[in-house]
Amino acid sequence: QVQLVESGGGLVQAGGSLRLSCAASGRTFRPYNMGWFRQPPGNEREFVARINWSGGSTSYADSVKGRFTISRDNAKNTVYLQMNSLKPEDTAIYYCAAQDYSRASYDPINFESWGQGTQVTVSS
């Protein structure tokens, strides 16, 4: 498995931006699709964005489409989540996760490695 460590969370005002990073180590980073998920207070973990192993395909939850951008740098073994126009409802713990490149599901159960999470708080 690959080990993942998120960073970049924090407190930001509504309308602001944050950039999350997820650094991978261990097994080769490249054959993994990567996803970002979030867990708002009192709610279940939900899909945010996903990027395939090559970076050529991305997908987003409707709630973040047009505001968030997922990207990856395979040379640095890092995946990013640029979050713009943040809203209070984006407040959550954000997790990155790795998925075998052969899978296509957005279900968290199909992601095999997870980071510890980073808190994002958006004030109104």
Q: Are 40 and 92 in contact (CB under 8 A)?
A: yes
The sheet that has 68-73: what strands, in order across it? 2-7, 18-26, 78-83, 68-73
The pLDDT of residue 88 is 97
Mean pLDDT across 42-58: 95
pLDDT tens track for 67-78: 999 999 999 999
Quote the pLDDT of residue 27: 72
The β-bridge partners of 120 are 10, 92
**Per-residue pLDDT reduced to its tens digit, 12-31:** 999 999 999 999 998 766 68
Cα separation, 23 vs 75, whole angstroms:
11
Percent of the chain with pLDDT over 70: 98
Task: Give the residue among 57, 58, 48 at the shortest CA–CA distance from 90.
Answer: 48
| Cβ-contact 112, 99 below 8 angstroms | yes
Virtual CA dihedral for 90, 91, 96, 100, nearest 10 degrees? -50
Residue type for position 83: M
Please state, in angstroms and as integers, the Cα–Cα distance from residue 5 to each residue in 21, 31, 51, 64, 115, following that order: 8, 18, 17, 22, 5
